[in-house]
Amino acid sequence: MYMCKETIRRAVIQKFKEQEEDQIETFEDLQSYCIKLFKAEDLKRLNTTVNSLKICDPAVGSGHFLVSALNELIIIKNELRILIDAKGVPLRCDIEIVNDELYVIDDKGLLHEYNPIDKESARIQHTLFHEKQTLIENCLFGVDINPNSVKICRLRLWIELLKNAYYTKENRLQTLPNIDINIKCGNSLISRFNLEDDLKDAFKNKEVNYSFLEYKNAVLEYKETNSKDRKREVLQIINEVKNNFKSTLDTQFINKFQKFKGDLINEQERQNNLKNFGEKIKKAEKDALKKLKAKAEKTFLEKEEIVNNAIYHNAFEWRFEFPEVLAEDGGYIGFDAIIGNPPYIGLEEFEENVKHIFKKKYDLVERKYETSVLFVILGLRIVKDKSLLSYIAPMTWQTGENYSALREKLFTDWGVLEIINLPFNVFADAYVDTCIYTLTNTKSNSYNIYSYKKKDNHNELKGIIFTKIDSSLISEPKYKVIFNPSLFKIIKRLNLEKFSTLGNISISTQGLSPSRFPITQENSSYVFPFLKIGNAYNYCLKIEETFNTSLRDKQNLIPFYSANEKILIRRIVNRQDRLTVGYTDERIVFKKDINPFIIQDNSFDTKYVLSVLASKFISYFYVNISSIALKDDFRQTTLTELRELFIPRLSNEEQQPFITKAIEILALKQENSKADTTVLESEIDQMVYKLYGLTAEEIIIVENS
């Protein structure tokens, strides 16, 4: 898998930079470095460096990504010539991944099949088994809220080991180790405690009979022991420590509350004494007392919610569940890489108490969102500094209105490294546009982006030629991901004082569902014809059938449907990546897929604005600022993004050439909605290019888009 391959290779490079040689920048550098070191002790050390990686999937599902990571690590070790046997001698074989399976070609050029009698075959089998075991035990971690998913993931990793099981000298099949403790059940998104919470106090509790080091050793022993009785004993130690840790941290809220309460009592007594001596209490002192009361009450409520709220019963405590990513003093270090395909469940699917927890814990998302973005925030918190997160997930966050705060964090504090917008229907059972993205919790000055055409073959990610985007092109306050640097170079050149946004010069609304406009027999000024059959097309509105409906209960909509000039923008972006921009001055109500815009600024003529919006450049502009506009299943516009379109401010005289041509087109369309007006529209396109200052090269790009 491209995602696992690239992410894990970058993680390996980073690990070697930290522990071996800080001059390593590429995988080729790493290969050259490893080739120079050929002594057995060097190879073992280099092998240990890879084994120290910590890779986590916080929503493992079937375990597909962890299995892919396991196979990729084996490939990497072989390419670095550090896939070594028990004596430190490298294997002499070629290994590749075909359909997510490891194919091992031995030194005779044959596909490896285990033969216990053949010494080289036995050496390969033995080495692969123990290398996989080491990687599973030390490097791979996962969590899922579904206990069945956890079982399946454990089983898949166990099967990967079983593929390389071998016979011992006693002619017995090698015992399989305990690989279940790294794959745990819990709600990844909800934790009682923060990563910064101090672990030391938990082990000072008189109820805890173990040190932190003993806790870490117990986890290690659990993986190694083959005794069921000892396994139960060790598991009891682990659970006891975790439970005591929880209860200890619960008391922190009580201590915090008691501190604020004590401060409150002391301040109250002090102010009462001042009153008794006839001294006046200052306003600042009264305000300080109110703040202490508020802090005490807030802390008490937080404690009650966390201790008693049922939602925390399956909370996953990243702070201590994986001691492998903790320092010797208990401080949180984090994972070297986060990978996966996180679930994307809409916020509306959750109960109110869950939404409340999400709002507090994930304040970088607003209003309506889905859970994959919560996994982004979680992942960049639990990953180690300068490390990577790579997901395959919906692409909506790239430009969606509700994700601007998250994007601001990504581009100002964290980093976007790579985005691949995938072809349509990557997942057969999920009708959603997806992308692969690689992020880091360290600021990046640029990122690479590539967008497949929606109908491209997606069996393999080949032929990718990335476009490099300088992060300085990202614009406040929306911080939208840039797909096309050419457009944003144009925007950067614009003197925005000479432009107004469509939203600032007009009023607009999104049409309602036809079911909201029942047929009426009423005879009053509130009765309007409703467009039953017909649609908006460029420069016209085609009306085929209407019925009467009343706006008596929707009087706020009357200005949008009265007999005045209206620009009509269809919700759907057509297959030529063009907006459909129509016009009417009829008194009529539209169906929900037509959004009316009424120009309110008298310095802008409606027909001038119409001609600009119907141009090729504005369509090019729009589809390159909106990921929703290029979706395959429902390519659409949004009012929010339409309102952000820049309209040049021109004098009445300068607007006139546009108005004249628009009137000519409207006259032709009124006679025949299918009239050919391409010559006039092309002339307007050329005039619009000049308004936005496009170069000859940029005009060619737009024309060919």
CB-side neighbour CA atoms (13 Å) of 396: 20
Task: Determine whether 189 is exposed, middle or buried from the number of CB atoms within 10 Å of its CB (0-12, 13-18, 19+).
Answer: buried
C-beta of residue 335 within 8 angstroms of C-beta of residue 14: no
Q: How far is CA 617 from CA 188, 393, 567, 614, 685, in A?
A: 45, 30, 17, 9, 7
Q: Is the pLDDT of residue 454 over 70?
A: no
Tens-digit pLDDT profile for residues 502-534: 999 999 988 788 888 999 998 899 999 999 999
Q: Is the pLDDT of residue 382 over 90?
A: yes
Terminal Cα-to-Cα distance of the chain (whole angstroms): 31
Q: Please give the average per-residue pLDDT across 557-580, as a whole number.
A: 86
Q: How far apart are CA 325 and CA 218, in angstroms?
A: 15
Tens-digit pLDDT profile for residues 272-285: 776 666 677 777 77
Q: Please give the average per-residue pLDDT across 635-642, as a whole number.
A: 81
- How sure is the predictor about 311, in pLDDT bands with cuts at 50, 70 and 90? low
Helix (H, G, I), strand (E, B) or coil at 277: coil
- How sure is the predictor about 200, in pLDDT bands with cuts at 50, 70 and 90? low
Task: Determine whether 155 is exposed, middle or buried from the number of CB atoms within 10 Å of its CB (0-12, 13-18, 19+).
Answer: middle
Strands 646-648 and 183-185: unpaired
Residue 9's φ and ψ, nearest 5 degrees, are: -65, -40
Q: Across all residues in the chain, what is the average pLDDT? A: 84
Q: Look-up: residue for tokens 């990577």?
A: 388
Q: What percent of the chain has pLDDT over 70?
A: 87
Q: What one-letter code names the amino acid at 445? A: N
Q: Please give the average per-residue pLDDT across 424-448, as a whole number.
A: 79
Q: How far apart are CA 523 and CA 549, in angstroms?
A: 10
Q: Look at residue 277 in the predicted model and tell me its pLDDT.
A: 67
Residue 531's φ and ψ, nearest 5 degrees, are: -75, 95
Residues linked to residue 113 through DSSP beta bridges, in sequence order: none
- Cα radius of gyration rounded to whole Å, the chain: 32
Q: How far apart are CA 85 and CA 202, in angstroms?
A: 41
Q: Is the pLDDT of residue 247 over 80?
A: no
Q: Please give the average per-residue pLDDT across 597-605, as a whole number.
A: 94
- Asked which of 320-334, 445-459, 577-591 is least confident by mean pLDDT, the reply is 445-459
Choose the CATH number for 500-704 among 3.40.50.2000, 2.40.160.40, 3.90.220.10, 3.40.50.620. Answer: 3.90.220.10
Q: What one-letter code names the amino acid at 491? A: I
Q: Look at residue 440 in the predicted model and tell me its pLDDT.
A: 94
Q: Is the pLDDT of residue 633 over 60?
A: no
Q: Please give the average per-residue pLDDT across 18-32, as a whole number.
A: 86
The per-residue DSSP string of 472-493 comes to GG--TTT-PPPS-HHHHHHHHH
Q: Look at residue 227 in the predicted model and tell me its pLDDT.
A: 72
User: 88-121 burial by CB neighbour count: b if 16+ within 10 A, else e?
Assistant: eebbebebebeeeebebebeeeeebebeeeeeeb
Domain 341-483 class, CATH top level: alpha beta
Q: Is the pLDDT of residue 622 over 90?
A: no
Residue 169's φ and ψ, nearest 5 degrees, are: -60, -25
Tokens representing residue 105 in the block: 């070609």
- C-alpha angle 161-166-168 in degrees, rounded to nearest 5: 130
Q: Pick 189 or 37 by higher pLDDT.
A: 189
Q: Is the pLDDT of residue 559 over 60?
A: yes
- How sure is the predictor about 24, in pLDDT bands with cuts at 50, 70 and 90? confident
Q: Look at residue 582 in the predicted model and tell me its pLDDT.
A: 93
Tokens representing residue 376 in the block: 């982004």
Q: Look at residue 251 in the predicted model and tell me its pLDDT.
A: 57
Q: Pick 226 or 340 by higher pLDDT.
A: 340
Task: Of 440, 478, 410, give the one whose Cα is nearest residue 627.
Answer: 478
Q: Pick 350 or 676 by higher pLDDT.
A: 676
The most confident of 99-108, 127-136, 288-297, 343-352, by mean pLDDT: 127-136
Q: Please give the average per-residue pLDDT across 613-636, as a whole number.
A: 74
- Asked which of 280-289, 305-314, 385-394 is least confident by mean pLDDT, the reply is 305-314
Q: How far is CA 435 from CA 387, 390, 394, in A?
A: 20, 10, 6
Q: Is the pLDDT of residue 254 over 90?
A: no
Task: Of 661, 645, 352, give the one whose Cα is nearest residue 500.
Answer: 645
Q: Look at residue 566 in the predicted model and tell me its pLDDT.
A: 93
- How sure is the predictor about 463, in pLDDT bands with cuts at 50, 70 and 90? low
Q: Look-up: residue for tokens 């908006």?
A: 536
Q: Is the pLDDT of residue 387 over 80?
A: yes
Tens-digit pLDDT profile for residues 402-412: 888 999 999 99
Q: Where are the domains of the chain?
A: 2-186, 202-314, 341-483, 500-704
